Chains A and B, each alone.
Chain A
Amino acid sequence: MRIPIGDGEEARAPKEEGGSPPRVDLTEQAAKAVVGLAALAVESSVVILRRISGVPVHDDERAEPEGLGLLAGAALGFVMEAGRAAAAAADVARRTVVPPAAFVAGTFLDAPRRAGQDRAAEWNEAWRAERPEAQAVAQAVVTEAIQRAVNAVLDQIDLTQVVLDRVDLDRVIATVDLDRAVERVDLDEVIEHVDIERIIAKLDLAKLALEVIDQIDLPEIIRASTGTVASESVRVVRMQTIGADRAITKVVDRLLGRTQSDQPPEEPASSGADDGS
């Protein structure tokens, strides 16, 4: 168990590192993690061994390290040291060995890797076959989990307030087809509930009517309408008498030998009684 720790770390480190600066740190971290795991494994195996051998299991951390425990601790300490040293050595080794090794591996070891890829493709194929079912199960699990989570979240949130705070309701409403919505409303029913009497009571109808009448030139309309009625019947007579007046004036002028005063004086009465002829 101990030996592979160093080796594992050593073997893994070069693979993982593509070539970034904090290499030592990373290998060290990895080593520590592996050692930690190993320590955990050792401790648990110690507990298991004790169980099996019938020794009562109680807080062994407090208890003095005895036989097996002491041995394990010492081993761990040693492993830690060994790991550290191995990490440093590995780092040096990696720096010197990896570039040519990578070259060699890149050149000669690709064939097996490609072969491995075929294997991977097979596995992939198998996974594809399994996938729908697995996905469905996962989907169901996720859905259920999300529902519960969302419900739990919603219970905690005042959604109305959130909407008021965050949502631009004007823009939302702009996208709503209100006409269609209104079409579905029974307006008669609505009107049933409206107190029209009260609304009318609020209006100053007299003032409104006066304003409307002000806008309409009522005298002009009356004059125009009566005027047309009158002119329809009277206009012809009036025009004919005017024509007769002119005809007679012409005849008289000719009889009296006047110089065609066809034009009666333009201004009606402005000249006064000067010529009483």
Chain B
Amino acid sequence: MSTTGSALRAVPAEARDYQGEPAGIVSRVLANAIDFGVMLAIVAALYFGWAATLFLRQGARFRFPTITYAWAFLVGSIVLAIYFAVSWRATGRTYGDQLLGLRVVNRDGALLGPGAAIARAILCVLFPLLLFWAVFSRKRRSVQDVLLRTSVVYDWRVRVTRGAG
């Protein structure tokens, strides 16, 4: 990593040794839990936004729209996939990753490309339990990581490492 010099200064001394190491299952599950909460918030916002639109259109006849579980699941999955893809492509980290100091990088240690980001997002949303392969993997990789040759590493730095390290 070429930018470690200045960027590492922002990292507390006790955590510097871990920077760039593959992240373990606890961190990643916690990050995913937080991301799940983010997804719920987004879906709720969408619901209320939709409801507000309906209210404006229907006026007195307005009732809160009822949504089925299937719809909620579908919308939630799509939202989560988009959220993952955009986050990983943009900064390498979702909000959960940010809180836990994680970053998703490719085999060169750089940010994912758009294709890899989208593919990984879809895989993670469809098969979340495959994450637990990381428990057994020597390099702490989930199945998605293995397929796409990515890694989730500890990276508390604020700056994003662009290009190969």
Please give the residue numbers on chain A whose beta carbons come within 8 Å of chain B beta carbons, in ascending order.
223-224, 227, 231, 234-235, 237-239, 241-242, 244-246, 248-249, 252, 256, 258, 261, 264-273, 275-277
Query: Which B residue sits closest to A265, measured CB to CB?
Result: B139
Given contacts A246-B24, A264-B21, 10 further A-B contacts (CB under 8 A): A234-B99, A241-B26, A241-B27, A242-B18, A242-B27, A245-B25, A245-B26, A265-B22, A269-B108, A277-B139
Q: Which residues of A contact B141 (CB under 8 A)?
A: 276
**Number of chain B interface residues as a range:** 35 or more
**A270 with B27, Cβ < 8 A, contacts A242-B154, A277-B138 known:** no
A76–B135 alpha-carbon span in the complex (Å): 151
Give me 17 A-to-B residue pairs in the complex whose CB atoms sit less than 8 angstroms apart, sorted by A's number: A231-B12, A238-B100, A246-B24, A248-B24, A249-B140, A261-B138, A264-B22, A264-B24, A268-B22, A269-B105, A269-B108, A269-B149, A269-B151, A272-B149, A273-B107, A273-B149, A275-B139
Q: For the complex, what is the distance from the CA of A224 to the CA of B27, rounded to whole Å?
A: 24
Complex Cα distance, B26 from A227, in Å, reads 23
Contacts of B18 in A (CB 8 A): 242
Given the interface pairs A272-B107, A276-B146, the reply to whether A264 lies near B101 with Cβ below 8 Å is no
Q: 1/0 per position for B19-61, CB-CB distance to A under 8 A?
A: 0111111110010000000000000000000000000000000
Across the interface, name the chain A residue whose C-beta is closest to B158: A223
User: Contact check: which of B10, B27, B137 meets A277 at CB < 8 Å?
Assistant: B137
Shortest Cβ gap from A238 to chain B (Å): 5
Contact of A264 among B12, B99, B140 (CB under 8 A): B140
Q: Chain B contacts of A277 at CB under 8 A?
A: 136-139
Bound-state CA distance A246–B149 (Å) is 22
Minimal beta-carbon separation of A271 from chain B (angstroms) = 7
Closest 6 CB pairs of A and B: A245-B24, A269-B151, A244-B26, A273-B149, A276-B146, A268-B153
B130 adjacent to chain A (CB < 8 Å): no
User: Is B22 within 8 A of A237, CB to CB?
Assistant: no
Q: Report the minimal beta-carbon distance from A36 to chain B, rounded to whole angstroms.
A: 108
Whether the pair B109, A268 counts as a contact (CB closer than 8 A) is yes
B131-164 interface (Cβ within 8 A of A): 135-141, 146-147, 149-151, 153-154, 156, 158
With A249-B140, A264-B139, A269-B106 as known contacts, state yes or no: A239 contacts B14, CB within 8 Å.
yes
* Set B25, B136, B137, B153: member contacting A269, Cβ < 8 A: B153
